[in-house]
Amino acid sequence: MSIQRVRVKSSAGMYPVYIGDKLLPSVLQKHLPAKVPVAMLVDEGVAALPLTTDLFQWLERRSARVVRVRIPAGERSKSIDEYGRVLRQLAGFVAATYLRGLPLIQIPTTVVAMVDSSVGGKTGVDLPEGKNLVGVFYPPKAVLADLRWLQFLSPVEKRAGMAEVLKYGAIADSKLFASLAKGAPRSMGKVVKRCVEIKAKLAGEDEKDLKGKRALLNFGHTVAHGLEGILGYDGLRHGEAVAIGMAVAAHLSVKARGFKKKTAEKLKAAIRAHGLPVTHPELRWDRLATWISRDKKATSDGIRWVLLRKIGKADLVSGVAEKKVMASLEEVREGRPAKG
């Protein structure tokens, strides 16, 4: 596809997100001055790929000095004690804090990194008590989503990334959701661009997550982060946990927001159509309650849930009765349809 650009608003100014098939190095050189030192942080899962090697050699020819740092894949890399999103969060945190801030260019290499974690400027590291509890907002100079990276993903990685794509359709774009309901999209480039547009709008209106708009992007993540905490970040891929979390949120939406039961089942069917799970044996309130109470959306009034009124319309909801949460977890765990 031809090179597309989405502009993202931040407190540091606008920055571009490029989407296309051949962004490296032609677009990169517009944002990276020659003859300056460069640190290249790379996930070990892509370190040996031809695109990575070509990029490193280009940087060596052009830069004053290049330091390549290989980061192990997975949540443990950003923990104090599998995904391109892990590297992005870690690199962003380092860039934001080292020497009080260094210029940062993001080159996402997975579906979830392209559509979600590379946009919006959030950085973070994990603590034993929960995910992303230490971090800052630090926007990049540019994001280059070169679609050629996606050819190297395993089928499992692609499926897990599609959970975040389905999320965007569920909360903000019914047409996008409908196009994804039966399986993989025809044009991944168009899907990435639409997801980035949605993320850019919500993040631009609520950069620091203070107004409740950006929090809508956490649909499915409250339960997902709880599952990841219980399983030690090793039992499920993030996208798989989000898929299960969206199923629970759909059931809770039926009980707390009048979301139609049939639509909740359609949402779960769409998740399954992408080879993603909609249930897990650890969906038990006594196991999840502590983790959910630490959710970043929580306030002094309790947990706030991202729930659906209909496909494409979501709200941040407080005061949801605990018994409704427990019932939703039980229904999804046992594979039963949602009840009002």
Hey, do 4-153 and 159-185+204-334 end up sharing a CATH topology, with the first three levels equal? no
Q: Which helix (H) or strand (E) holds 303?
A: none
> How confident is the model at residue 85, as a pLDDT?
58
Q: What is the spatial distance between Cα 134 and Cα 272, in angstroms, rounded to a whole number?
A: 33
Residue appearing with tokens 């979600």: 116
pLDDT tens, position by position, 258-285 = 999 999 999 999 999 999 999 999 999 9
CATH class of 4-153: alpha beta
Residue 150: closest CA among 116, 187, 110, 190: 110
Q: Which residue has the higher pLDDT, 128 or 250?
A: 250
Considering the entire predicted model, what is its pTM?
0.91
Q: What is the spatial distance between Cα 127 and Cα 76, in angstroms, rounded to a whole number?
A: 10
> How confident is the model at residue 78, as a pLDDT?
45
pLDDT tens, position by position, 23-48 = 999 999 999 999 999 999 998 889 99
> How confident is the model at residue 130, as a pLDDT?
67
> How confident is the model at residue 82, as a pLDDT?
44
Provide the β-strand partners of residue 42.
Answer: 70
Query: What average pLDDT does the segment 6-24 reach?
Result: 95
Residue 185: closest CA among 210, 168, 202: 168
CB 210 within 8 A of CB 11: no
Q: What is the spatial distance between Cα 84 and Cα 246, in angstroms, rounded to a whole number?
A: 21
pLDDT tens, position by position, 99-126 = 999 999 999 999 999 999 899 988 877 7
Strands (DSSP E) found in the chain? 4-8, 15-20, 37-43, 65-71, 105-106, 125-127, 130-134, 142-146, 305-310, 313-317
C-alpha distances out from residue 179 to 122, 185, 329, Å: 29, 7, 28
Q: What is the spatial distance between Cα 295 and Cα 303, in angstroms, rounded to a whole number?
A: 7
pLDDT band per the 50, 70, 90 thresholds, residue 149: very high
> How confident is the model at residue 83, as a pLDDT?
45
pLDDT at 81 over 50: no
pLDDT tens, position by position, 302-327 = 899 999 999 999 999 999 999 999 99
* CATH architecture for segment(s) 159-185+204-334: Up-down Bundle (1.20)
Q: What is the DSSP string of 281-299?
A: TT--HHHHHHHHHT-TT-B
Q: What is the spatial distance between Cα 240 and Cα 275, in angstroms, rounded to a whole number?
A: 9
pLDDT at 141 over 70: yes
> How confident is the model at residue 200, as a pLDDT?
96
> How confident is the model at residue 151, as a pLDDT?
94
Domain ranges of the chain: 4-153, 159-185+204-334
